[in-house]
Every structure is written in structure tokens, then in C-alpha cells.
Structure 1
């Protein structure tokens, strides 16, 4: 499971009042801070990408530059910091990195840009929030995330995921009356466009755009889920991210070389285009990929995906503070649902970690606490009985 407790087996580790080691509590706090920072970076990119679509940069050239910058940022750190941690490269690892790039970079970014081009940014933001639910279903189906719907914790985990998706959808689709914001601001609200208003260009297809965006969500969820088993076998996280960016760059270069043959499409004509690409490469790809890979390794794919709706909340707040847009009742209602959903999922995660810590501490201390430790330990079976396994499950 992606959220296995690490570093909890030391017998002398300091513990909190609930019996959880202080180091584990500190790591959980770091995970939450990292995920909030990650969603803040993605929210900024979501705002910036709306401007980039009208700057004239090719939708195939843009991700080439984005992943090239990310690779240049990550590769040196991966090479020097993980020189001793990298396992030997094998054809199996190369294939896994290629598939991660295909899911998480090439198809993910391509489907998003194509879907955004055929629909609207508001609709793309709304449909993106299905990622936690899709990731939850994939992880549960593959056995990466344990879900017991007949138990209270399993129901809470499923309900929390659905609440997060519902909250982000409310923020995007329901405006309501204005609650607070700059009174003098001139606010332009873009509603979800109907199929007939998808654009004046007859080549645009709203239905096709929806298909593209669903492909984007499926690719993103697949990437989150597939990283967990890869990181178990290849624990060098920065190297995994660098290899993924490398293969994603090669895949985009191959596609762009065939489709985009106009040399003018590869030229940046303004400082705004350069700044947008730098932000996309440095923040939304380089830093974000590294932080997300670390969070998946330590917290699991569902833990990472459940924070996705926070991005919609941050976009609404950023638009209110930076663009002068008013904050509406729908945003507050959605925020309450998101917080409630996050609380449920993270509560279940906390209970699972506490239970794993107690089981690990009991298994490690059973021989140390008995007077006749040597004799009792020799009598312990090497493997638990089938009845014990069934009761543990």
C-alpha cells in the first residue's frame, strides 16, 4: 500500500499522546504542507495557462518547452543526490518509465490542451475534479488502496472522496450571490458554455472536447496510481521523475516533429510567452512533479488525489485577490464540502497509520518484554496462521 508507515519500528522513538511516534507526526505535517504548496503551484499554472492559449504558441511546442525546462531542473539534482540510491537500470524499469511518461505527461497534457481548446476553461476545471474519484476507484481495484465498505473507515474514505469532488464542482458551477470582494471591481463571470457556444470555429466540437478531457482525467489518475508500485521497486524519487520527463520530452518531440513542421511555431515572440513557459516548466512540472512523487511515495496515490479539489478553491481565492473578482456563496459552500471531505479521508488515513504503528510495536516488543525472551521467541512461528491472517483482514 502506498501509505505504509516508514520509520515507525524503532523501539526508543519518542511518541505523542496517542502512541504515534513524533517523527511520523512531523512527516504527516510535512505531507499536508507539501500538498497545499503543490495545489497552490498548480492553481497558479491554471490561471497562467488561460493566458497562454491566446499567445500563439503551438499546443504541441508548448509542452516540449515545458518538459525540457523541467528535465533541465530535475536531472542534475537526481544525478548528484541519488547517485547511491539508484538501482541498476534494467529493460523493465525503462519500460515502466516510458509508460509513466505516456500516461502522466504525453497523453495527460495533450488531452488537456485539446479538451481546453474545444470547450472552456471553466468546464475543464470542473471535470478535472473527477480525478480523486477515478484514482480512488483505480487504487481500490488494483489493491493499492484498501477499502472495506462494510466498515466505518471504508465508508468514511469513500464518502470523503465524493464530498471533495462535490465541493469543487459546486465552486465551479454554482455562483450564488456575492459575499465579499472589491466593491469597485468589474467582474466578468464565464459560465459553462453550452455545446452551441463552444466557439465560432466550426472545427470545434464540444462533445469531442469532453472526450479529450475525460481522457486527460483517466491519464492523470493512471499516472498517480502507477507511480506507487514503481516507487517501491525504484526508490530514487527524483530519478523516477527525471526519467519520466525525459521520455515525455522524447514522445512530444516525436509527435511535434511530424505534426508541427512550421518553424515559426517554435519561436517565442514575447516576454509573456517566455514567462508562461518558464512557470510551466519550473513550477508546474519540475517542482510539482518532484513534490508529487515524494507525496505519492509517502502518502499514497489517493492521499495525493484527494487534494486535487483544493486547487479549484485556491483558483477562486486567487482570482478574488489578484484579479479583483468577487467571492460568491457557491465558493464558500464548496469550500465547506471540500474541508469536510478532506477531514474524513485524512481521519481514516490517520487511523490506519496508528493501527499499523501499534501492530508493528506489538510485534517488535513481544519478545523483549517477556522474562524468558529467548525461549518464547523460538516458539513463535515464522509465518502467522491462516486464521490469524483472516482475522487481521
Structure 2
């Protein structure tokens, strides 16, 4: 039945399901912090599950495309694991612990804009301020940065606070622990998380160019990050109790994060990027924020302040400016591409030809 649906409709359905599923991941991770599971052990279990799910597909589907490993590739995968897994996850958990799932999801909307800014700095992405698309991408980036700063520096009055009655049992509820939270530390950590994530995307560009096996890159990145986390755990988590699953809540959190967020979500996202382009993924990011806000209000009794709402609106508007600018640029390239290709082939030496590799991942913490 689903095969009879046009592919463009399938892509949109996949992105809606993906964003709803990943919005739940923010809530699940906050519950994991509530029930007391070791953050480091949780990440190790989550990455292991994701790696086990993806490895068979990478091995069998990319046999012909996967180059042999060498010292250069191993070093590149090490840095991808360090930036995209270790630093990214570490800063995310610190940020989530000191803020909330809604703010974590909101600030993540700035990742495409930060990615564009970094790609422009390293001349991977084209910026033409004489065209509307270039101006839109620049102003969109500034709007995202401004929104993140507003959320960090200004909270303001509470606009909405849910009823005290929750649908969840007390063991699963996030209590009002604002007194022990460091809001500034949490927001700064989430910004660092977004910068690490964007850097990870940009770092993938030269790797994908020389190693055209995206699932294998993801698996090697998972493996590198897992080995680095295990090295850290060898020094910090020596008690056997820290590695045990003590309750159904912990087991649910680990399985959901590993299967849904790290395994299935990554597979869906790669398929959407391949068929619909990375900007389609970015365009659906605000849906994740909306769903996360509803879930947090219902299950975690989340309250919303004026600063968070203003910052969220600024980030989402900035995101859409970047998406619009990128789509406009892609249409222009598709119209002038054949002529430009002929000019480059006939007039430019190989070392002066620029390249832009589509990022492996655009949205969410899929590791």
C-alpha cells in the first residue's frame, strides 16, 4: 500500500514520523537523568545499540563503495568521533541537565545556520551578498544566533505553566528543580553542542568526498566515539553497579535512545537526505520543537517563559531564512549548472575547482 504513494509524499511522511520520534528522545533523555542512570554508561549503551543496528547494513550494502582503511581515514574517523560523538553528547547532556527538553530542541534549530556559517568560513559553502539567497542565509544565521543569546541571557516572566497534575507517576516526573539548575551553564553547553554538531557536519565534507560510503562513515564514527567513551569510563565508572540496569524506566530509556534515535532515525534521515536533500530535513526541525514542547508540558510539567518563546521564534525564523536561501541557490545552480560545468572544464585548472559535499546528517542527535 505504502509503495503506491508518490515518493515526495513518502519523504514528508517519513520526516513527520522522524521528528515526532526524535522529539520523544529529548523527553526520554531527561527521564534518564531523573532516574539516576550514569550519563556515561547511558551513552555507551545507546551508541552500542545504534552501532549494532547499522553495521550489518553498512557491511552488506556498501561492499563495493567502501574503500580500504588506511592511517589517514582512521585519523579522520577519530576526529569525527571526538567532535560528533564525545564532545557533542557530553555538552548536550550537561545542557539538558541544566535546562529542559524544549530548550534543547529549540536551540538545535540553529544547527543548519551554524553549519552554513562554518562552511562559509572554510569556503565549502558559497556566499554571495549581491543576491537575495546570500543575504537570506546571512540574516538567517544572525537570527539564529540572536535567538540562542536571548534564550541564554533573558528568561523573563512565565507565560505558561501547566497544571500540577501530571499523567506520569512521580518516579517519571521532572520536579521543579530550577533552584539547583545553572541556566546559563546549560544554555552555553547547548550552544557548544550545536557548534560541535555543525562542525561534525562540515568535517564530513572532505571525508565523504574521499570515502563514498555514508553508512560506513557513520559506523566508524560510532565506533571511534564508543572507544573514546570506554577509555573515559575505565577511569570514571569502575563500580559494577553503574553498569547495571536497575529499573524498567532505565531499560526503556536505553532501548528507545539506541533503537529509535540512533538506529532507525539515522537510517530514515540518510534516506531522506539522499532522495529529498538535506534542506528537507532542516525544514522539519521546528516540528520537533513543537512536539517536544507539548510532551514536556504534559509529562514533565514544563513551564515556558517569555525569553524562551521570543528566542525560539527568532531561531525558527532564522532557520527558514537559511533554508529559503539554500533552496533559492540550488535552483539557480540547477539553471546555470551546465554552463558553469563547461566553463570550469575548459577554463579552470583542477586545483581551483571548488566543491560542496552534502552533509551526511543535518538534523538531530542521531548517534
Query: Distance between the aligned counterparts of 2:184 and 2:151, measured in 1?
Result: 23
TM score, norm. by length of structure 2: 0.74
2:200 to 223, 226, 238: 223
Structure 1 portions without partners, runs of 5+: 1-25, 200-204, 367-379
1:258 to 235, 251, 260: 235
Query: Distance between the aligned counterparts of 1:207 and 1:129, measured in 2?
Result: 19
Q: Are 2:180 and 1:198 equivalent residues in the alignment?
A: yes
Give the aligned partner of residue 375 of structure 1. Answer: none
Change (3 A) 1:95 1:38: farther
Counterpart secondary structure, 1:235: coil
| 2:48 and 2:258 in contact (8 A); partners too | yes
Counterpart secondary structure, 2:260: helix
| 1:66 and 1:278 in contact (8 A); partners too | yes
| 1:228 and 1:301 in contact (8 A); partners too | no
Alignment of 1:374-389 (within 5 A): 383-384=346-347
Higher CA-based Rg: 1
Query: Distance between the aligned counterparts of 1:182 and 1:272, measured in 2?
Result: 24
Change (3 A) 1:217 1:334: closer
| 1:171 and 1:312 in contact (8 A); partners too | no
Structure 2 portions without partners, runs of 5+: 1-5, 168-172, 353-367
Query: Distance between the aligned counterparts of 2:113 and 2:192, measured in 1?
Result: 14
Query: Distance between the aligned counterparts of 1:133 and 1:127, measured in 2?
Result: 11
RMSD: 4.3
Deviations, residues 329-357 of structure 1 (Å, cap 9, x unaligned): 99997887666545433333332222222
Alignment of 1:325-344 (within 5 A): 340-344=317-321
TM score, norm. by length of structure 1: 0.69
Q: Could you tell me how far 1:68 is from its partner in structure 2?
A: 0.5
Q: Could you tell me how far 1:220 is from its partner in structure 2?
A: 1.4
Q: Could you tell me how far 1:384 is from its partner in structure 2?
A: 2.9
Change (3 A) 1:63 1:354: same
Query: Distance between the aligned counterparts of 2:17 and 2:176, measured in 1?
Result: 28
Q: Could you tell me how far 1:321 is from its partner in structure 2?
A: 6.7
Give the aligned partner of residue 38 of structure 2. Answer: 58
Q: Are 2:28 and 1:48 equivalent residues in the alignment?
A: yes
1:101 to 58, 81, 94: 81
Q: Are 2:117 and 1:137 equivalent residues in the alignment?
A: yes
Change (3 A) 1:163 1:321: farther
Counterpart secondary structure, 1:145: coil
Q: Could you tell me how far 1:235 is from its partner in structure 2?
A: 1.8
Query: Distance between the aligned counterparts of 1:294 and 1:106, measured in 2?
Result: 25
Deviates more, 1:293-302 or 1:232-241: 293-302
Change (3 A) 1:347 1:123: closer
| 1:131 and 1:221 in contact (8 A); partners too | yes
Per residue, is there more helix in 1 or in 2?
A: 2
Query: Distance between the aligned counterparts of 1:169 and 1:381, measured in 2?
Result: 42
Deviates more, 1:342-351 or 1:104-113: 342-351
Counterpart secondary structure, 2:25: helix
Q: Are 2:139 and 1:159 equivalent residues in the alignment?
A: yes
Change (3 A) 1:38 1:140: farther
Give the aligned partner of residue 328 of structure 2. Answer: 351
Give the aligned partner of residue 355 of structure 2. Answer: none
| 1:67 and 1:285 in contact (8 A); partners too | yes
| 1:164 and 1:309 in contact (8 A); partners too | no
Q: Could you tell me how far 1:159 is from its partner in structure 2?
A: 2.7
Give the aligned partner of residue 54 of structure 2. Answer: 74
Give the aligned partner of residue 13 of structure 1. Answer: none
| 2:139 and 2:321 in contact (8 A); partners too | yes
Change (3 A) 1:164 1:29: farther
Change (3 A) 1:168 1:211: closer
Deviations, residues 58-90 of structure 1 (Å, cap 9, x unaligned): 111111100100011000111111111212222
Q: Are 2:298 and 1:317 equivalent residues in the alignment?
A: no
